[in-house]
Amino acid sequence: MKKNFELNYSRIKDLRLNNNLSQKDVADILNINQSTYSKFELGKAIITITMLNTLANYYKVSLDYILNINDKNNKVNYIALDAKIAGERLRLIRKEKHLYQETLAMDIGTSHSLISEYESGKKLISLPYAFAICRKYNISMDYLYGKKD
């Protein structure tokens, strides 16, 4: 059975255009070249969670909104991502759902050891896996990353 955890970046273009910015302007904000940013808008490259958070902070929107998880365009304050907080939230979500690390890993297509590294705060949860977790378990991306309670 195929899981539909495909990221949708259409709102990054909408937000850019609504703020009268060029792709070069946004690329400069992210400290990358314009062609790389263009690939994000076209869905031909995966943006990192850190870059996506930079955009969410810049536009003052939630991660859930920018990733089309929901349509609520609630203004949010600047929040830096913290691997420890995200790891604690992941552990809490997993325990609330009565899942073993192995089960969670299998559900999102990764390894038990990577889930362990995420939960211990050694690594920040990568965007594709965070998105899969949020979609599979109906969790807010902003909650997972500690941007809201």
Same structural domain, 37 and 87: no
Q: Quick one: tokens of 144?
A: 């997972």
87 and 139, same structural domain? Answer: yes
In a domain, 52, yes or no: yes
The confidence score (pLDDT) of residue 78 equals 77
User: What domain range is 89 assigned to?
Assistant: 83-144
pTM of the model: 0.89
* 53 assigned to some structural domain: yes
90 and 56 in a single domain? The answer is no
Whole-number pLDDT of residue 5: 54
Q: Would you give per-residue pLDDT tens digits along the chain (149 residues)?
A: 334 456 788 899 999 999 999 999 999 999 999 999 999 999 889 899 999 999 999 999 999 999 988 888 766 767 889 999 999 999 999 999 999 999 999 999 999 999 999 999 999 999 999 999 999 999 999 999 998 88
State whether 51 and 96 are in the same domain.
no
CA distance linking residue 94 with residue 105, whole number of Å: 11
Q: How high is the pLDDT of residue 1?
A: 31
Work out how many domains the chain is built from and give that number: 2
The two three-digit tokens of residue 61, written as one number: 């929107």
Please check whether residue 61 lies inside any domain of the structure.
yes
Q: Give the residue carrying structure tokens 């979500």.
A: 93
Residues 89 and 138 reside in one and the same domain:
yes
> In CATH, what number is assigned to the domain containing residue 115?
1.10.260.40
- Which distant-in-sequence residues (6+ apart) come within 8 Å of 26 by Cβ? 12, 16, 37, 55
